[in-house]
Structure formats: structure tokens, C-alpha cells
Chains A and B, each alone.
Chain A
Amino acid sequence: MSKTVIQFTILTILLVMAQVLVLNHICLFNVAVPMVFIYIIIRLPITLGANWAMTVGFILGLVVDIFSDTYGMNALACTILAVLRRPVLHLYVSREEELPRPEPSIYSLGTTACLKYLLTMTLVYCTLIFLIESFTFFNPLRLVLLIVCSTLLSVLLMAGIDSLLTPRSEKRL
């Protein structure tokens, strides 16, 4: 148990640092912003209570907000994302008791289900964050483009992180 907690903490610090110091400054072709720190919320064990998930989401969002001067934008989006985690997972996985591990990953869910879950969650988050951000200038075409491109880029990166985190011995199974 405590090993998992420590692993999660290290992963959180690494991902938040990567997001804040490197990825926030990237805007590929002026339309795709990679959002990687939400992988923490996506990977939270399915057995974790809703209150704890929301708390983790809120604090995570707030930390990223503080670093990137976005005042509650990420906190809001991450809290909603943490609430939607379980319903979205249930769309693609019918029995969560049969999972080999409580954390949703390619290993525990299988490639197709995991990618669907990842894609849905990222799409929800990107839609939320760009909708909140575009209160000032509403430009529907650019908004859709931003959401779609950022989602694709983020999913690609997070799938990569997922495969890095899976131990080699488990991959062969």
C-alpha cells in the first residue's frame, strides 16, 4: 500500500514538473497543447473513494494553476474529471472486480479499452479547459481545433508514459 502511495507521489511530482516547466510552453502548430499531468487522475486506483479522488484532482489542479497563473481553471476541470472517472471507466469495463490491478492501465484493462478510456477522459478535460479559457474570445473553429489536436497529442504522450510505467515482465503476459 505505502509503496503504491510513494510511487504515485513521485509520478505526480515528475508529471507536474514536466507539465509546468516544459509542456505548458509548447503549442505545436499553434493548436496542440500537450496536457500530461491529468494522467495522475486517470491512473488513480478504481478502488479509491470518490471524495479522495476529488481531493487529489482539486489539489493537483490548484498546483498547476499556481504555477501557470490560471486561477482555478485547472482546479475546476480536474475536480470534474475526478468525478467522471468512474462513470467513464464503466462505459468500457463492465466488471471492475475482475481487473488484475486496481489502477487503470494498458496492462490491466487491455489496449482497446484503455485507449478508449484515455481518449474519453482527455477529451472531457481538454473540452472543459479550453471552454473555460475561451470565455473572453469566442472563436468556435479554433476552439474545436484546439480541443481535438490537444486531445490527440496528449493521448499519444500518455499512452507512451503508460507503457514506460509497465514493468517488462508484465508486458510479455
Chain B
Amino acid sequence: MAKTGLPYNRLYMRELLKFFIKYSSWLVFTVYMVVSCVLLFTSNPYQHHLYLTSANAVSASVYSAVSNVTSYFSLRDINEDLQRRNADLELEVYKLKNVIRDYHEKEYADSMVVDSALSRYHFIIAHVINNSINRSHNYITIGKGSLDGIEPEMGVVDQNGVVGIVNVTGPHTARLISLLNPHLRLSCKVKGQDHVGSLAWDGRDPGEAILEELPRHAVFHKGDTIVTSGFSSVFPEGVLVGTVVDAEKEHDDNFFALRVKLFTDFSTLSTVRVIRDKMKDELREVEQDIEVKSTF
């Protein structure tokens, strides 16, 4: 029996408590370090919890309040972009009208199959309430969420081109992985060709990204347009991405890496469109079926 007259287990408890109090700083430090490191090294960006992102209720309401004021600042640039895009579209409408007239003239109108490709997609308009371009992993917060029909892994574009992909949704807000984030790899091709590469940001210039893994026999020139390949259900085929600035060979010489100037100006992002693919569920079911069958 110990001198104090206490039973052994009480004595041990007391020693243990003394130990904890003496080294409490180390304990607290370790706990905080572990929590921060767990947060930091959660590798898959789709697993991030809503409360720990800028799409949570408090930060989103702060950001949308500020955005109500600041969204007026870049109106001039956005207006110019819209005018240009409008002109392009008018031109296209004119061209299409001509094509339709040609068809009419050839009296194919009755037997023509209506192109259903476009009705497959539906756009949801949303405002950007927070955006960053100077970090190594950039994210964008928008003011619409799951109640407006937005779900994770939907593609987002603006009037100029690809913006990013939705990764976390709250009821009224959602957060996107910006194209300026190395977690996002976009399947792209040179317009008018079928060779597909993978577009990713290299963290240097917010106006440029790299199209990697393009086969060596692909043909391209400086100034060629890069568009999405449509190989996933996230973006339809042919959404504008950027133009080729420069080409360099990758280390194993079997692939090209192209430096692409992006059409989207991420510093003046204001209104974006979220792409809803009506066939997404169907596609996913089909793909899962194939996986199940192939295991037999």
C-alpha cells in the first residue's frame, strides 16, 4: 500500500492526471495538428464536407451579400463578352437558317429527323458569389444549390467557355472545382479532329492550361480551337475551351503537350450556366450494367 493510504488504482489515476496536466500543451498541439493534417490530406475533393467549404450557410450568405455589391464592378467586360457571343450566335442562326432553307428547297423537310442531341441538355443560370484565381487549388462558389436542381459532377460554362465542375452542393449554394485547379482534368480535343487529350491547369498563369497526352500523330496548328470531347456526361461535345498557343513534346516523346489559352476570363466571372444532362442517370445505369456483367 502507498504512503498516502489511497488504493493503487486511485494513485495511478492521480499520476496519470498529473502527467496529462504537465504535458497538456503537447496533447493539445498534437490533436490540432492531427485534425489539420487530416483536413489537409483528404485527397479526393469530392469527399469534402459541406460545412468545411465556402458553400456552407454562414460563409455563403456573407459572400452573396458582398457579391451583390461587387458584381456591378466588372459589368463592362461582361457586357462586351456577351455582345461578342451574341454576334457569334446571330451569325450561327443566320447560317442555320440558310441550311434549313436549303433543306426546304430540296423538299427534305418532311422526312428530316429532328436532331435530339441538344434537347438532352438543360441549363441552370447561376451567379458566382465567390471566386479565386491566385491559389494553387482554386474553387468557385455559386448562389444556387440542390433545391434548384444542381448536383455534384455537373459541368459549368459561361458565355465564353468551360468554367468548372460542381463538387459540393448545399440547399441554396454550390461549390465548383475551377478549371484552375489541378484536381480537374478535362477530356478535350482539337476542333474538327478525333484525337483526345486531357486538359489540366499547371498552376502558373490563370489564363492558360496544358492539354496533355495528345497522340503524336494528331495534327494541329497554333490558333486552333480546343473543345470538349463529350466522352463523359459532364460536358456535351464541342463546348469551347481555348486556343492553342504553343506545343511541346512530353518526356516520352509519344505524346504532345499543348499550351492552351483559355477563352474563359476567370478574373471577371459573374454569371454561369450549370449543364444538366437528362441522360446522365440512364448512361450511368448502362455503364454499371456493363461493369456487373464483365465481372462474370
Contact = CB atoms under 8 A, between A and B. Distances in A.
Contacts of B28: 50-51, 54-55
Interface of A: 17, 20-21, 24-25, 27, 30, 33, 50-51, 54-55, 57-58, 61, 65-73, 75-76, 79, 83, 132-134, 136-137
Interface stretch (B108-116, B130-138, B152-160, B189-197): B130-138
Interface string B9-38: 000000000000000110011001101111
A66 B36 contact: no
Nearest to B140: A69
B290 interface: no
A55 B24 CA distance: 12
B264 interface: no
Nearest to B25: A50
A27 to B, nearest CB: 4
B77 to A, nearest CB: 16
Contact of B134 (A33, A67, A132): A33
B66 interface: yes
Given A54-B28, A137-B202, A66 B59 contact: yes
A73 B39 CA distance: 8
Contacts of B53: 66, 69
Contacts of B204: 137
B40 A136 contact: no
B35 A69 contact: no
Contact of A66 (B24, B54, B134, B135): B54
B38 A72 contact: yes
A69 B54 contact: yes
A76 B37 contact: yes
Contacts of A70: 135, 137
A137 B24 CA distance: 37
Contact of B32 (A25, A58, A137): A58
Given A66-B56, A69-B175, A75 B134 contact: no
Interface string B191-215: 0000000000011100000000000
Contacts of A20: 62
B40 A72 contact: yes
B238 interface: no
Contact of A65 (B29, B39, B62, B175): B39
Contact of A136 (B33, B35, B62, B182): B182
B117 interface: no
Contacts of B33: 76, 79
Contacts of B35: 58, 72, 75
Contacts of B62: 17, 20-21, 67
B139 interface: yes
B294 interface: no
Nearest to B131: A25
Nearest to B136: A133
5 contacts: A25-B132, A50-B28, A57-B32, A76-B37, A136-B182
Contacts of A79: 29, 32-33, 36
B76 to A, nearest CB: 19
B40 A132 contact: yes
Contacts of A76: 33, 36-37, 40
Contacts of B139: 69
A33 B35 CA distance: 26
B59 A137 contact: no
A27 B35 CA distance: 29
A146 to B, nearest CB: 10
B52 interface: yes
A58 B36 contact: yes
B175 A71 contact: no
A36 to B, nearest CB: 16
B48 interface: yes
